[in-house]
Amino acid sequence: MTIPVRDALDSALVALNAAGVDAPRLDAELLLAEALGVERTRLYIDRDLSIEGPAIRRFQDLVRRRSIGREPVAYLLGRKGFRHIDLQVDRRVLVPRPETELLVQLAVEGLAMGTRVVDVGTGSGAVALALADERPDLSVTASDLSPEALEVARANGQRLGLDVTWAQADGLPSGDFQAVVANLPYVVDGEALAPEIARHEPALALFSGPDGLDAIRALVEQAAARRVGWIALEHGFEQGDAVRVLLRMAGYAEVRTERDLAGLERVTVGC
């Protein structure tokens, strides 16, 4: 049995639209390219491309898991692009978000040569590895409470050949750090989340107390106690005021919040 690519995409779009996924055409194209083992652009430039045999069954299974199971596309593909690197991801770690790239950008632009920086709550290693990739002069450490997440992060570091020191720790690990970056859990306990997140992503990396700030609050206290001079924290778009207060109360004299590409308050910096 052979099916033209256009027909395969159309049938997938019916299922994905019915499921209410956010980007049905993009998802269908990514999953079809994965089933065929080709780049997504091939779907556009090869008018004679078709899908047959095992690839049909593979594509149907991926579409079923995306539409009925609502599995994130990144988990289905096993990878996610972030800044200038590609990361392997699975259910042990959060899917890296585009808005987290702002955290990297601020560190890339704001840290002095040779700064000793730690990425707390590294997950897949996205922030730490992007920093090591774009600023090889930095001394980069990354930590996470979850040993399973660190397995993913270490594997990404080895595959990419980037120099990062890994540590398991609850909050700030031991070491003499001049800067901290962190995308910690910041969802309020009990908050309803999209099925892609609620069903598949690790709760440990999502929820953080009745105001969503337990992990951030603890890290700010640790960083201030150890006189870390520069800190950048990703947070929810409604948490900017609270995070600014936490940093000022901890003694950071200059505090500002930067907005993401959607215009939402996303990362607060203290120094």
Average pLDDT over the chain, rounded to whole? 96
* pLDDT at residue 82 tops 90: yes
Burial class (CB in 10 A: 0-12, 13-18, 19+), 81: exposed
For domain 2-69, the question of CATH label 1.10.3470 is answered with: no
CA-nearest of 5, 27, 3 to 15 is 27
- Mean pLDDT for 97-110 is 97
Q: Is the pLDDT of residue 2 over 90?
A: no
pLDDT tens for 29-69 read: 999 999 999 999 999 888 788 898 899 999 999 999 999 99
Is 235's pLDDT higher than 90?
yes
Q: Where do you find CATH 3.40.50.150 in the chain?
A: 91-270
Q: End-to-end CA distance of the chain, in Å? A: 63
CB-based contact 226:250 (threshold 8 Å): no
% of the chain at pLDDT higher than 70: 100
Whole-number pLDDT of residue 249: 98
Structure tokens at 265: 């308050």
Using DSSP bridges, classify how beta strands 265-270 and 255-259 pair: parallel, antiparallel or unpaired. antiparallel
Residue 106 in contact with residue 83, Cβ under 8 Å? no
| pLDDT one-digit tens code per residue, 252-262 | 999 999 999 99
The yes-or-no verdict on residue 226 having pLDDT over 90 is yes
pLDDT in tens, 166-212: 999 999 999 999 999 999 999 999 999 999 999 999 999 999 999 99
For residue 41, give Cα distances in angstroms to 46, 56, 103, 107, 183. Answer: 9, 19, 30, 33, 32
Mean pLDDT of the region 79-86: 97
Q: If pLDDT is split at 50, 70 and 90, which confidence band does 71 have? A: very high
pLDDT of residue 47: 78
Q: Residue 157 corresponds to which tokens in the numbers above?
A: 């570091």
With left for phi above 0 and alpha for psi between -120 and 50, is residue 251 left, alpha or beta?
A: left
Residue 221 has pLDDT above 90, yes or no: yes
Q: Which fold would CATH assign to domain 91-270?
A: Rossmann fold (3.40.50)
